[in-house]
Structure 1
Amino acid sequence: MDKPLPASQTKHLTNLSHPLPPPHSNISVNLRQISSSSGGGGTGTTGTTGTTLWLSAQILSLYLSSTLGTSTTTNNKNNCNGVRINRDDDEGKKKQKVVLELGSGIGYTPLVLANLGWKVLASDIEPVLSEVLKPNIEYNKRIVGNGIGEIEVRELDWIYIDKIQNDNQNNDMKDTIIPDDVKYLKEEGIDMIIMSDTFYSLSLIRPLWNTLLYISQVKDDDNKPPVIYISLERRDSLLIDHALETGKKMGFDLKKVNKSRLIKEIQSSGWGWEGEDWDGVEIWKCRWKG
Protein backbone atom coordinates (compact mmCIF):
# COMPACT_ATOMS: atom_id res chain seq x y z
CA MET A 1 0.00 0.00 0.00
CA ASP A 2 1.20 3.50 -0.81
CA LYS A 3 1.24 5.49 2.41
CA PRO A 4 -0.49 8.85 1.91
CA LEU A 5 1.20 12.02 3.08
CA PRO A 6 -0.68 14.43 5.35
CA ALA A 7 -2.45 17.00 3.18
CA SER A 8 -0.28 19.79 4.55
CA GLN A 9 2.64 18.21 2.70
CA THR A 10 0.85 17.84 -0.66
CA LYS A 11 -0.51 21.34 -1.33
CA HIS A 12 2.11 21.95 -4.04
CA LEU A 13 1.14 18.89 -6.11
CA THR A 14 -0.94 19.34 -9.25
CA ASN A 15 -1.75 15.63 -9.38
CA LEU A 16 -2.16 13.64 -6.20
CA SER A 17 -2.42 9.84 -5.96
CA HIS A 18 -4.10 8.85 -2.70
CA PRO A 19 -5.20 5.41 -1.42
CA LEU A 20 -8.63 4.87 0.06
CA PRO A 21 -8.72 4.12 3.79
CA PRO A 22 -8.60 0.51 5.03
CA PRO A 23 -9.93 -2.00 4.23
CA HIS A 24 -9.69 -0.72 0.62
CA SER A 25 -6.14 0.61 0.71
CA ASN A 26 -5.34 -1.33 -2.46
CA ILE A 27 -7.44 1.22 -4.38
CA SER A 28 -5.91 4.61 -5.13
CA VAL A 29 -7.63 7.62 -6.64
CA ASN A 30 -5.92 10.29 -8.72
CA LEU A 31 -6.88 13.82 -7.80
CA ARG A 32 -6.25 17.10 -9.60
CA GLN A 33 -5.30 20.01 -7.34
CA ILE A 34 -4.79 23.71 -7.94
CA SER A 35 -2.39 25.35 -5.51
CA SER A 36 -0.49 28.61 -5.35
CA SER A 37 2.71 26.95 -6.55
CA SER A 38 1.28 24.48 -9.06
CA GLY A 39 -0.34 27.01 -11.37
CA GLY A 40 -2.69 24.59 -13.06
CA GLY A 41 -4.53 27.08 -15.21
CA GLY A 42 -8.10 28.08 -14.55
CA THR A 43 -8.52 30.69 -11.88
CA GLY A 44 -5.09 30.10 -10.38
CA THR A 45 -6.62 29.86 -6.93
CA THR A 46 -4.35 29.37 -3.96
CA GLY A 47 -5.74 26.18 -2.52
CA THR A 48 -7.51 27.95 0.33
CA THR A 49 -11.04 27.53 -1.03
CA GLY A 50 -11.34 23.84 -1.75
CA THR A 51 -8.91 23.26 -4.61
CA THR A 52 -6.49 21.09 -2.61
CA LEU A 53 -6.91 18.18 -0.23
CA TRP A 54 -7.53 19.06 3.41
CA LEU A 55 -6.15 17.17 6.41
CA SER A 56 -9.55 17.09 8.10
CA ALA A 57 -11.00 15.32 5.04
CA GLN A 58 -8.35 12.61 5.33
CA ILE A 59 -9.13 12.03 9.01
CA LEU A 60 -12.91 12.08 8.47
CA SER A 61 -12.64 9.59 5.61
CA LEU A 62 -10.54 7.27 7.76
CA TYR A 63 -12.96 7.53 10.66
CA LEU A 64 -16.10 6.99 8.58
CA SER A 65 -14.58 4.01 6.78
CA SER A 66 -14.02 2.34 10.13
CA THR A 67 -17.27 3.47 11.74
CA LEU A 68 -19.70 2.78 8.92
CA GLY A 69 -18.08 -0.22 7.30
CA THR A 70 -19.37 -1.43 3.96
CA SER A 71 -22.87 -2.69 4.79
CA THR A 72 -25.38 -0.21 3.42
CA THR A 73 -28.51 -2.14 2.53
CA THR A 74 -28.31 -5.65 3.96
CA ASN A 75 -27.47 -5.09 7.64
CA ASN A 76 -30.26 -6.31 9.87
CA LYS A 77 -29.72 -3.56 12.40
CA ASN A 78 -31.82 -0.43 12.18
CA ASN A 79 -29.12 1.96 13.27
CA CYS A 80 -25.33 2.19 13.03
CA ASN A 81 -23.76 4.97 15.04
CA GLY A 82 -26.78 7.17 14.49
CA VAL A 83 -27.12 6.47 10.75
CA ARG A 84 -30.07 4.49 9.48
CA ILE A 85 -28.97 1.25 7.85
CA ASN A 86 -32.22 0.10 6.30
CA ARG A 87 -34.75 2.39 4.62
CA ASP A 88 -37.71 0.62 3.09
CA ASP A 89 -39.66 2.07 0.21
CA ASP A 90 -43.40 1.61 -0.20
CA GLU A 91 -42.86 -1.91 -1.54
CA GLY A 92 -40.57 -2.95 1.30
CA LYS A 93 -37.41 -2.90 -0.78
CA LYS A 94 -34.16 -1.68 0.72
CA LYS A 95 -33.10 1.80 -0.38
CA GLN A 96 -29.57 2.94 -0.81
CA LYS A 97 -28.40 5.30 1.91
CA VAL A 98 -27.76 8.88 0.88
CA VAL A 99 -25.01 11.16 2.17
CA LEU A 100 -24.65 14.84 1.32
CA GLU A 101 -21.26 16.49 1.59
CA LEU A 102 -21.07 20.26 1.93
CA GLY A 103 -17.95 21.75 0.40
CA SER A 104 -16.63 18.63 -1.34
CA GLY A 105 -13.54 20.35 -2.73
CA ILE A 106 -11.40 17.97 -4.77
CA GLY A 107 -13.75 15.04 -4.06
CA TYR A 108 -11.71 12.61 -1.97
CA THR A 109 -14.35 11.94 0.71
CA PRO A 110 -17.21 11.40 -1.80
CA LEU A 111 -15.09 8.77 -3.53
CA VAL A 112 -14.44 7.06 -0.20
CA LEU A 113 -18.14 6.98 0.70
CA ALA A 114 -19.18 5.76 -2.76
CA ASN A 115 -16.73 2.91 -2.36
CA LEU A 116 -18.54 2.00 0.87
CA GLY A 117 -21.78 1.69 -1.11
CA TRP A 118 -23.42 5.04 -0.41
CA LYS A 119 -25.22 7.30 -2.83
CA VAL A 120 -23.19 10.51 -2.46
CA LEU A 121 -24.35 14.03 -3.27
CA ALA A 122 -21.08 15.94 -3.58
CA SER A 123 -21.63 19.70 -3.49
CA ASP A 124 -19.63 22.89 -3.88
CA ILE A 125 -19.72 26.19 -5.75
CA GLU A 126 -17.92 27.56 -8.78
CA PRO A 127 -15.10 27.62 -9.72
CA VAL A 128 -14.26 24.63 -7.47
CA LEU A 129 -17.15 22.65 -8.95
CA SER A 130 -15.92 22.77 -12.55
CA GLU A 131 -12.18 22.98 -12.03
CA VAL A 132 -11.54 20.14 -9.59
CA LEU A 133 -14.65 18.44 -8.17
CA LYS A 134 -16.42 17.34 -11.35
CA PRO A 135 -13.24 16.28 -13.20
CA ASN A 136 -11.98 14.27 -10.22
CA ILE A 137 -15.30 12.51 -9.68
CA GLU A 138 -15.70 11.69 -13.39
CA TYR A 139 -12.16 10.36 -13.65
CA ASN A 140 -12.23 8.22 -10.52
CA LYS A 141 -15.79 7.00 -10.11
CA ARG A 142 -15.15 4.09 -12.48
CA ILE A 143 -12.68 2.57 -10.00
CA VAL A 144 -14.74 2.95 -6.82
CA GLY A 145 -18.17 1.86 -5.74
CA ASN A 146 -17.93 -1.85 -6.57
CA GLY A 147 -20.99 -1.36 -8.76
CA ILE A 148 -23.01 -0.28 -5.69
CA GLY A 149 -22.11 3.25 -4.71
CA GLU A 150 -22.78 6.27 -6.88
CA ILE A 151 -21.94 9.97 -6.89
CA GLU A 152 -23.85 12.99 -8.12
CA VAL A 153 -22.18 16.41 -8.24
CA ARG A 154 -24.40 19.33 -7.31
CA GLU A 155 -23.89 23.08 -7.02
CA LEU A 156 -24.94 24.24 -3.57
CA ASP A 157 -24.42 27.75 -2.24
CA TRP A 158 -24.96 28.11 1.52
CA ILE A 159 -25.76 31.80 1.15
CA TYR A 160 -28.58 30.91 -1.27
CA ILE A 161 -30.02 28.35 1.18
CA ASP A 162 -29.58 30.86 4.02
CA LYS A 163 -31.83 33.31 2.16
CA ILE A 164 -34.45 30.61 1.55
CA GLN A 165 -34.37 29.60 5.20
CA ASN A 166 -34.70 33.19 6.38
CA ASP A 167 -37.61 33.78 3.96
CA ASN A 168 -39.34 30.68 5.32
CA GLN A 169 -38.88 31.84 8.90
CA ASN A 170 -40.19 35.30 8.05
CA ASN A 171 -43.25 33.65 6.52
CA ASP A 172 -43.68 31.70 9.76
CA MET A 173 -43.22 28.52 7.69
CA LYS A 174 -46.82 28.80 6.41
CA ASP A 175 -45.76 28.98 2.78
CA THR A 176 -42.52 27.05 2.68
CA ILE A 177 -40.29 28.05 -0.21
CA ILE A 178 -38.63 25.13 -1.99
CA PRO A 179 -37.09 26.25 -5.30
CA ASP A 180 -36.80 23.55 -7.95
CA ASP A 181 -32.99 23.55 -7.91
CA VAL A 182 -32.83 22.55 -4.23
CA LYS A 183 -35.88 20.28 -3.96
CA TYR A 184 -33.54 17.30 -3.75
CA LEU A 185 -32.44 18.52 -0.29
CA LYS A 186 -35.95 17.78 0.96
CA GLU A 187 -36.96 14.93 -1.33
CA GLU A 188 -33.81 12.81 -1.60
CA GLY A 189 -34.11 11.35 1.89
CA ILE A 190 -30.68 12.36 3.17
CA ASP A 191 -29.43 10.05 5.91
CA MET A 192 -26.16 11.76 6.69
CA ILE A 193 -24.37 15.06 6.10
CA ILE A 194 -20.60 15.41 6.22
CA MET A 195 -18.23 18.35 5.88
CA SER A 196 -14.55 19.09 6.36
CA ASP A 197 -12.87 22.42 7.07
CA THR A 198 -16.05 24.40 6.51
CA PHE A 199 -15.53 26.77 9.45
CA TYR A 200 -13.04 29.17 7.93
CA SER A 201 -14.96 32.44 7.46
CA LEU A 202 -16.99 34.31 10.04
CA SER A 203 -19.45 35.49 7.41
CA LEU A 204 -20.29 31.91 6.36
CA ILE A 205 -20.95 30.41 9.80
CA ARG A 206 -24.61 31.42 9.97
CA PRO A 207 -25.38 30.49 6.31
CA LEU A 208 -23.77 27.09 6.85
CA TRP A 209 -25.80 26.31 9.96
CA ASN A 210 -28.95 27.59 8.27
CA THR A 211 -28.24 25.21 5.39
CA LEU A 212 -27.97 22.34 7.87
CA LEU A 213 -31.17 23.51 9.55
CA TYR A 214 -33.02 23.70 6.23
CA ILE A 215 -32.12 20.09 5.44
CA SER A 216 -32.73 18.87 9.01
CA GLN A 217 -36.29 20.18 9.27
CA VAL A 218 -37.90 16.98 8.06
CA LYS A 219 -41.70 17.01 7.98
CA ASP A 220 -42.00 13.22 7.93
CA ASP A 221 -42.42 12.17 11.56
CA ASP A 222 -41.11 8.69 10.73
CA ASN A 223 -37.69 10.04 9.78
CA LYS A 224 -35.17 11.64 12.06
CA PRO A 225 -33.08 14.57 10.90
CA PRO A 226 -29.83 13.36 9.32
CA VAL A 227 -26.80 12.73 11.48
CA ILE A 228 -24.02 15.24 10.76
CA TYR A 229 -20.27 14.73 10.95
CA ILE A 230 -18.10 17.84 11.08
CA SER A 231 -14.35 17.49 10.68
CA LEU A 232 -12.24 20.55 11.32
CA GLU A 233 -8.70 21.70 11.90
CA ARG A 234 -8.45 24.03 14.87
CA ARG A 235 -6.33 26.82 13.42
CA ASP A 236 -8.33 29.68 14.93
CA SER A 237 -9.86 28.53 18.23
CA LEU A 238 -11.97 31.66 18.65
CA LEU A 239 -13.56 31.16 15.24
CA ILE A 240 -14.12 27.43 15.82
CA ASP A 241 -15.62 27.94 19.27
CA HIS A 242 -17.94 30.63 17.89
CA ALA A 243 -19.03 28.34 15.06
CA LEU A 244 -19.79 25.42 17.38
CA GLU A 245 -21.62 27.64 19.86
CA THR A 246 -23.73 29.07 17.02
CA GLY A 247 -24.82 25.55 16.09
CA LYS A 248 -25.74 24.73 19.68
CA LYS A 249 -27.85 27.88 19.99
CA MET A 250 -29.71 26.87 16.82
CA GLY A 251 -30.75 23.54 18.32
CA PHE A 252 -27.97 21.21 17.20
CA ASP A 253 -26.73 18.67 19.72
CA LEU A 254 -22.95 18.45 19.27
CA LYS A 255 -20.65 15.79 20.67
CA LYS A 256 -16.92 15.59 20.07
CA VAL A 257 -15.42 12.27 19.02
CA ASN A 258 -12.80 11.22 21.58
CA LYS A 259 -9.27 11.90 20.40
CA SER A 260 -8.26 8.46 21.66
CA ARG A 261 -10.61 6.98 19.06
CA LEU A 262 -8.98 9.01 16.29
CA ILE A 263 -5.51 7.99 17.51
CA LYS A 264 -6.59 4.36 17.33
CA GLU A 265 -7.82 4.79 13.75
CA ILE A 266 -4.56 6.45 12.69
CA GLN A 267 -2.44 3.77 14.32
CA SER A 268 -4.39 0.92 12.71
CA SER A 269 -4.54 2.55 9.28
CA GLY A 270 -1.01 1.70 8.22
CA TRP A 271 -0.51 5.29 7.13
CA GLY A 272 2.43 5.69 9.49
CA TRP A 273 1.45 9.13 10.74
CA GLU A 274 2.72 10.63 13.99
CA GLY A 275 0.76 12.92 16.28
CA GLU A 276 2.24 16.09 14.83
CA ASP A 277 1.12 15.05 11.34
CA TRP A 278 -2.54 15.60 12.20
CA ASP A 279 -2.48 17.66 15.37
CA GLY A 280 -5.45 20.00 15.70
CA VAL A 281 -7.98 17.90 13.76
CA GLU A 282 -11.29 17.24 15.50
CA ILE A 283 -14.48 15.41 14.52
CA TRP A 284 -17.84 16.46 15.88
CA LYS A 285 -21.05 14.47 15.54
CA CYS A 286 -24.36 16.27 15.75
CA ARG A 287 -28.04 16.18 14.93
CA TRP A 288 -30.71 18.85 15.03
CA LYS A 289 -32.93 18.46 18.07
CA GLY A 290 -35.22 21.39 17.40
Structure 2
Amino acid sequence: MSLFNKGEKKIYHVDHLPEEMKIAIKTIIDSTLPEVAKSYGLNYAYPRVGEPIFIPFGRLDGKFKDTQKAYSKILEEVEKAKEIGISKYQEWYAKAKFYDHYRITFYSTVDKNKGMMIGIGANPLLATPDERILKISQYIEGKKVLITNSAIAGQIPFMNANVRFKDNVIERKDEIIDAFLWANKTFHDRYDKDKIYDTEVGRTYMSRMFDEISNTLGNFRGDQEADVVIVPVIAEGKTFYGKKVLEAWKEEPFKKMIEDGRFHELEIT
Protein backbone atom coordinates (compact mmCIF):
# COMPACT_ATOMS: atom_id res chain seq x y z
CA MET A 1 0.00 0.00 0.00
CA SER A 2 1.35 3.40 -0.97
CA LEU A 3 1.58 5.98 1.78
CA PHE A 4 -0.26 8.34 -0.54
CA ASN A 5 -3.04 7.47 -2.94
CA LYS A 6 -2.83 8.86 -6.45
CA GLY A 7 -4.07 12.43 -6.48
CA GLU A 8 -4.40 12.49 -2.71
CA LYS A 9 -4.44 15.94 -1.21
CA LYS A 10 -1.49 16.77 1.01
CA ILE A 11 -2.38 18.45 4.29
CA TYR A 12 0.44 19.64 6.49
CA HIS A 13 -1.29 20.53 9.76
CA VAL A 14 -4.24 19.23 11.74
CA ASP A 15 -5.68 22.77 11.79
CA HIS A 16 -6.17 22.52 8.01
CA LEU A 17 -8.57 19.60 8.37
CA PRO A 18 -12.34 20.07 8.79
CA GLU A 19 -13.19 21.14 12.34
CA GLU A 20 -15.07 17.90 13.04
CA MET A 21 -12.02 15.84 12.08
CA LYS A 22 -9.62 18.03 14.02
CA ILE A 23 -11.74 17.60 17.14
CA ALA A 24 -12.06 13.83 16.65
CA ILE A 25 -8.31 13.35 16.19
CA LYS A 26 -7.31 15.43 19.21
CA THR A 27 -9.94 13.69 21.32
CA ILE A 28 -8.90 10.15 20.37
CA ILE A 29 -5.23 10.92 20.99
CA ASP A 30 -6.08 11.73 24.61
CA SER A 31 -8.51 8.83 25.10
CA THR A 32 -6.27 5.76 24.87
CA LEU A 33 -6.36 4.95 28.62
CA PRO A 34 -2.85 3.55 29.18
CA GLU A 35 -3.74 3.11 32.86
CA VAL A 36 -6.52 0.70 31.94
CA ALA A 37 -4.13 -1.22 29.69
CA LYS A 38 -1.67 -1.44 32.57
CA SER A 39 -4.42 -2.69 34.88
CA TYR A 40 -4.84 -5.73 32.63
CA GLY A 41 -1.12 -6.32 32.10
CA LEU A 42 -1.28 -4.84 28.60
CA ASN A 43 0.53 -1.99 26.88
CA TYR A 44 0.73 -0.22 23.57
CA ALA A 45 3.41 -1.21 21.08
CA TYR A 46 6.17 1.22 20.20
CA PRO A 47 7.21 1.26 16.54
CA ARG A 48 10.92 0.56 16.13
CA VAL A 49 11.19 2.31 12.78
CA GLY A 50 8.70 4.84 11.44
CA GLU A 51 4.96 4.26 11.80
CA PRO A 52 3.85 1.03 10.06
CA ILE A 53 0.18 1.96 10.49
CA PHE A 54 0.19 5.50 9.12
CA ILE A 55 -2.67 7.61 7.81
CA PRO A 56 -1.75 10.87 6.02
CA PHE A 57 -4.00 13.80 6.87
CA GLY A 58 -5.14 13.86 3.23
CA ARG A 59 -7.10 10.65 3.79
CA LEU A 60 -8.96 12.28 6.65
CA ASP A 61 -10.17 15.25 4.63
CA GLY A 62 -13.77 15.67 3.50
CA LYS A 63 -17.14 16.77 4.78
CA PHE A 64 -18.50 15.32 8.01
CA LYS A 65 -21.93 15.73 9.54
CA ASP A 66 -20.48 15.70 13.05
CA THR A 67 -17.52 14.53 15.12
CA GLN A 68 -18.90 10.99 15.37
CA LYS A 69 -18.80 10.71 11.57
CA ALA A 70 -15.22 11.99 11.60
CA TYR A 71 -14.39 9.47 14.33
CA SER A 72 -15.80 6.66 12.18
CA LYS A 73 -13.65 7.82 9.26
CA ILE A 74 -10.53 7.59 11.42
CA LEU A 75 -11.34 4.00 12.39
CA GLU A 76 -12.07 3.17 8.76
CA GLU A 77 -8.66 4.43 7.65
CA VAL A 78 -6.87 2.68 10.52
CA GLU A 79 -8.57 -0.55 9.44
CA LYS A 80 -7.25 -0.10 5.90
CA ALA A 81 -3.73 0.86 6.95
CA LYS A 82 -3.35 -2.01 9.40
CA GLU A 83 -3.90 -4.61 6.67
CA ILE A 84 -0.23 -4.23 5.80
CA GLY A 85 1.15 -2.31 8.75
CA ILE A 86 0.21 -4.82 11.43
CA SER A 87 2.54 -7.40 9.87
CA LYS A 88 5.53 -5.23 10.77
CA TYR A 89 4.42 -5.13 14.41
CA GLN A 90 3.95 -8.90 14.34
CA GLU A 91 7.52 -9.17 13.10
CA TRP A 92 8.80 -6.93 15.89
CA TYR A 93 6.64 -8.54 18.61
CA ALA A 94 6.62 -12.10 17.33
CA LYS A 95 5.24 -13.71 20.50
CA ALA A 96 2.70 -11.03 21.36
CA LYS A 97 -1.06 -11.27 21.57
CA PHE A 98 -2.51 -8.32 19.64
CA TYR A 99 -5.75 -6.50 20.36
CA ASP A 100 -7.71 -4.58 17.75
CA HIS A 101 -7.36 -1.25 19.53
CA TYR A 102 -4.82 1.52 19.00
CA ARG A 103 -3.01 4.44 20.54
CA ILE A 104 -3.32 7.27 18.03
CA THR A 105 -0.42 9.74 17.75
CA PHE A 106 0.60 12.58 15.49
CA TYR A 107 3.41 11.54 13.14
CA SER A 108 5.50 13.28 10.51
CA THR A 109 8.49 12.29 8.43
CA VAL A 110 10.30 13.26 5.25
CA ASP A 111 10.52 10.95 2.25
CA LYS A 112 13.09 11.72 -0.44
CA ASN A 113 10.52 11.06 -3.16
CA LYS A 114 7.25 12.13 -1.56
CA GLY A 115 8.55 14.98 0.56
CA MET A 116 6.98 15.86 3.90
CA MET A 117 4.43 13.34 5.15
CA ILE A 118 2.20 14.36 8.05
CA GLY A 119 -0.68 12.48 9.63
CA ILE A 120 -1.41 10.05 12.43
CA GLY A 121 0.07 6.73 13.47
CA ALA A 122 -1.76 3.87 15.18
CA ASN A 123 0.11 1.71 17.72
CA PRO A 124 -1.67 -1.57 18.59
CA LEU A 125 -2.56 -2.70 22.09
CA LEU A 126 -0.82 -5.94 23.00
CA ALA A 127 0.40 -8.36 25.63
CA THR A 128 3.86 -9.88 25.52
CA PRO A 129 4.89 -13.02 27.44
CA ASP A 130 6.20 -12.14 30.90
CA GLU A 131 9.25 -14.15 31.92
CA ARG A 132 8.00 -14.22 35.51
CA ILE A 133 4.85 -15.99 34.39
CA LEU A 134 6.77 -18.40 32.18
CA LYS A 135 8.84 -19.41 35.21
CA ILE A 136 5.76 -20.71 37.03
CA SER A 137 4.25 -22.41 33.99
CA GLN A 138 5.54 -25.82 35.10
CA TYR A 139 3.56 -25.51 38.32
CA ILE A 140 0.23 -24.63 36.71
CA GLU A 141 0.25 -26.66 33.50
CA GLY A 142 -3.04 -28.52 33.13
CA LYS A 143 -4.37 -27.23 36.44
CA LYS A 144 -7.27 -25.04 37.47
CA VAL A 145 -5.95 -21.59 38.26
CA LEU A 146 -7.63 -18.56 39.81
CA ILE A 147 -6.05 -15.10 39.55
CA THR A 148 -7.45 -12.79 42.21
CA ASN A 149 -7.35 -9.56 40.19
CA SER A 150 -6.87 -8.31 36.63
CA ALA A 151 -3.21 -7.21 36.89
CA ILE A 152 -1.82 -10.12 34.86
CA ALA A 153 -4.94 -11.04 32.90
CA GLY A 154 -3.14 -10.25 29.66
CA GLN A 155 -0.85 -13.22 30.34
CA ILE A 156 -3.66 -15.77 30.42
CA PRO A 157 -3.49 -16.62 26.67
CA PHE A 158 0.14 -17.68 27.27
CA MET A 159 -0.72 -20.00 30.17
CA ASN A 160 -1.22 -23.68 29.45
CA ALA A 161 -3.87 -24.05 32.12
CA ASN A 162 -7.57 -23.65 32.92
CA VAL A 163 -7.48 -20.05 34.14
CA ARG A 164 -10.10 -17.69 35.51
CA PHE A 165 -9.55 -14.21 36.89
CA LYS A 166 -11.52 -11.80 39.01
CA ASP A 167 -11.92 -8.63 36.99
CA ASN A 168 -11.73 -5.73 39.42
CA VAL A 169 -11.61 -3.21 36.56
CA ILE A 170 -14.61 -3.95 34.31
CA GLU A 171 -17.09 -3.51 37.17
CA ARG A 172 -15.84 0.09 37.45
CA LYS A 173 -15.85 0.77 33.72
CA ASP A 174 -18.30 3.70 33.78
CA GLU A 175 -16.63 5.26 36.81
CA ILE A 176 -13.19 5.05 35.21
CA ILE A 177 -14.38 6.46 31.89
CA ASP A 178 -16.19 9.34 33.60
CA ALA A 179 -13.07 10.18 35.61
CA PHE A 180 -10.77 10.30 32.60
CA LEU A 181 -13.31 12.25 30.57
CA TRP A 182 -13.35 14.83 33.35
CA ALA A 183 -9.53 14.89 33.48
CA ASN A 184 -9.17 15.27 29.71
CA LYS A 185 -11.83 17.97 29.49
CA THR A 186 -10.28 19.85 32.41
CA PHE A 187 -6.82 19.64 30.85
CA HIS A 188 -7.98 20.96 27.48
CA ASP A 189 -10.04 23.73 29.05
CA ARG A 190 -6.96 24.90 30.94
CA TYR A 191 -4.09 24.36 28.52
CA ASP A 192 -5.43 23.90 24.97
CA LYS A 193 -5.78 27.19 23.11
CA ASP A 194 -8.65 25.66 21.11
CA LYS A 195 -10.16 24.00 24.20
CA ILE A 196 -10.92 20.96 22.05
CA TYR A 197 -12.11 17.73 23.64
CA ASP A 198 -15.33 15.96 22.62
CA THR A 199 -16.53 13.93 25.60
CA GLU A 200 -18.89 11.79 23.51
CA VAL A 201 -16.15 10.79 21.06
CA GLY A 202 -13.86 10.21 24.03
CA ARG A 203 -16.44 8.00 25.73
CA THR A 204 -16.97 6.04 22.50
CA TYR A 205 -13.26 5.33 22.06
CA MET A 206 -12.69 4.46 25.72
CA SER A 207 -15.69 2.10 25.65
CA ARG A 208 -14.29 0.53 22.50
CA MET A 209 -11.11 -0.32 24.40
CA PHE A 210 -13.03 -2.06 27.18
CA ASP A 211 -15.06 -3.95 24.56
CA GLU A 212 -11.96 -5.16 22.74
CA ILE A 213 -10.36 -6.34 25.97
CA SER A 214 -13.58 -8.18 26.81
CA ASN A 215 -13.61 -9.82 23.38
CA THR A 216 -10.30 -11.50 24.22
CA LEU A 217 -10.33 -11.89 28.00
CA GLY A 218 -14.05 -11.99 28.76
CA ASN A 219 -14.25 -15.78 28.61
CA PHE A 220 -11.63 -15.99 31.35
CA ARG A 221 -13.56 -13.83 33.82
CA GLY A 222 -15.14 -15.51 36.80
CA ASP A 223 -14.52 -17.62 39.87
CA GLN A 224 -13.75 -21.30 40.24
CA GLU A 225 -12.49 -23.91 42.65
CA ALA A 226 -8.80 -23.85 41.89
CA ASP A 227 -5.72 -26.02 42.34
CA VAL A 228 -3.58 -22.89 42.26
CA VAL A 229 -4.43 -19.34 43.32
CA ILE A 230 -2.27 -16.49 42.01
CA VAL A 231 -2.39 -13.23 43.96
CA PRO A 232 -0.71 -10.46 41.96
CA VAL A 233 0.65 -7.88 44.40
CA ILE A 234 0.79 -4.35 43.03
CA ALA A 235 3.75 -2.71 44.75
CA GLU A 236 3.35 0.61 42.96
CA GLY A 237 0.48 3.04 42.85
CA LYS A 238 -1.31 5.33 45.23
CA THR A 239 -4.42 3.32 45.98
CA PHE A 240 -7.34 4.70 47.96
CA TYR A 241 -9.35 1.64 48.90
CA GLY A 242 -13.10 2.06 48.89
CA LYS A 243 -13.08 5.42 47.13
CA LYS A 244 -14.24 6.25 43.66
CA VAL A 245 -11.61 7.50 41.21
CA LEU A 246 -12.72 11.13 41.09
CA GLU A 247 -13.14 11.20 44.85
CA ALA A 248 -9.55 9.99 45.32
CA TRP A 249 -8.22 12.47 42.76
CA LYS A 250 -9.49 15.32 44.93
CA GLU A 251 -7.05 14.26 47.66
CA GLU A 252 -3.27 14.22 47.82
CA PRO A 253 -1.12 13.28 45.99
CA PHE A 254 -3.48 13.47 43.00
CA LYS A 255 -4.83 16.90 43.94
CA LYS A 256 -1.33 18.36 43.62
CA MET A 257 -0.79 16.61 40.27
CA ILE A 258 -3.94 18.22 38.87
CA GLU A 259 -3.03 21.64 40.25
CA ASP A 260 0.39 21.33 38.58
CA GLY A 261 -1.07 20.14 35.27
CA ARG A 262 0.49 16.67 35.59
CA PHE A 263 -2.61 14.90 34.33
CA HIS A 264 -0.48 12.17 32.72
CA GLU A 265 0.45 10.93 36.21
CA LEU A 266 -3.12 10.22 37.31
CA GLU A 267 -3.80 6.59 38.18
CA ILE A 268 -6.80 4.35 38.60
CA THR A 269 -7.37 4.10 42.33
TM-score by length of 1: 0.27
Structure (1/2) with the larger helix percentage = 2
By relative contact order (CA 8 Å, sep 6+), the higher-ranking structure is 2
TM-score by length of 2: 0.29
Q: Rg: which structure is higher?
A: 2
